[in-house]
Structure 1
């Protein structure tokens, strides 16, 4: 193989790799349901806080995802629950207790603990769910 063929081969490989990565990153408009964008409806579940799987909710600032909902315990010790997906493009949010907000790592959208948009590109608030603590049982419901 001469130099020209080698460079051509490298160039074609790089181009193919770039195209495959771009196609793989493209979000399919049909891949997210409206429930991902607006949050699940008819939410009604209970978390047993004595179980190891839910231990994150025993500490202020802890959070977990269950049934399409992020459940968190704020710095002040209050339980809150919102849809798990960003209203911009349905990427999974994270709860940042130090900043008292929900954050989308995809495009940087942020939401207050009450679900309102504090930084775009999202323009629609999160669906917020009710919480009720009774002993070691935390009920999350619409």
Structure 2
């Protein structure tokens, strides 16, 4: 075997190996999306509302993200919590209190405050977590 045939053979082997390893790879957007479209399990944490880091939750319409969960205070003053990521492609959601919904800025999916899909492309509801307020401690749990 001469040098040209050897290099050609090696190139074809490497190309074949690369193709086989990439089969089934998921295209990503440069790291902003995650493969996880389900909410976190075993959620159980407490937010101290007297801390400045959690001050957004003192006002109706405020929200923050903690432990993979969006925690919000609705226009009516109720605390709600849902998974942080859209069920379509796992982009980070935002809480839009004026519209009483969660919104995905990537593809425009929207969800009710109760987690139900109101506009696609998402087709699965959000995971909703329980909240309990005791004094200035807001517990979020599954």
The interval holding the TM-score normalised by the smaller chain is 0.7 to 0.9
Q: State the 1:91 CA deviation.
A: 0.2
Q: Which of the pair is proportionally richer in helix?
A: 1
Does the CA-based 8 Å contact 2:35-2:89 persist in structure 1?
no
Matched, 1:27 2:29: yes
Q: 1:129 maps to what in 2?
A: 129
> Within 5 Å, which residues of 2 pair with 1:1-142?
26-27=28-29, 32-34=34-36, 37-142=37-142
Q: Which runs of 5+ in 2 are unaligned?
A: 1-26
Q: Which runs of 5+ in 1 are unaligned?
A: 1-24
Extract structure 1 runs of 4+ deviating beyond 6 A: none
What is the CA–CA distance in structure 1 between the aligned matches of 2:131 and 2:28, rounded to whole Å? Answer: 36
SS of 1:56 mapped into structure 2: helix
| Matched pairs, number | 115
Structure whose alpha-carbon radius of gyration is higher:
2
SS of 1:55 mapped into structure 2: helix
| TM-score (structure 1 length as normaliser) | 0.78
What is the CA–CA distance in structure 1 between the aligned matches of 2:38 and 2:72, rounded to whole Å? Answer: 19
SS of 1:130 mapped into structure 2: strand
| TM-score (structure 2 length as normaliser) | 0.78
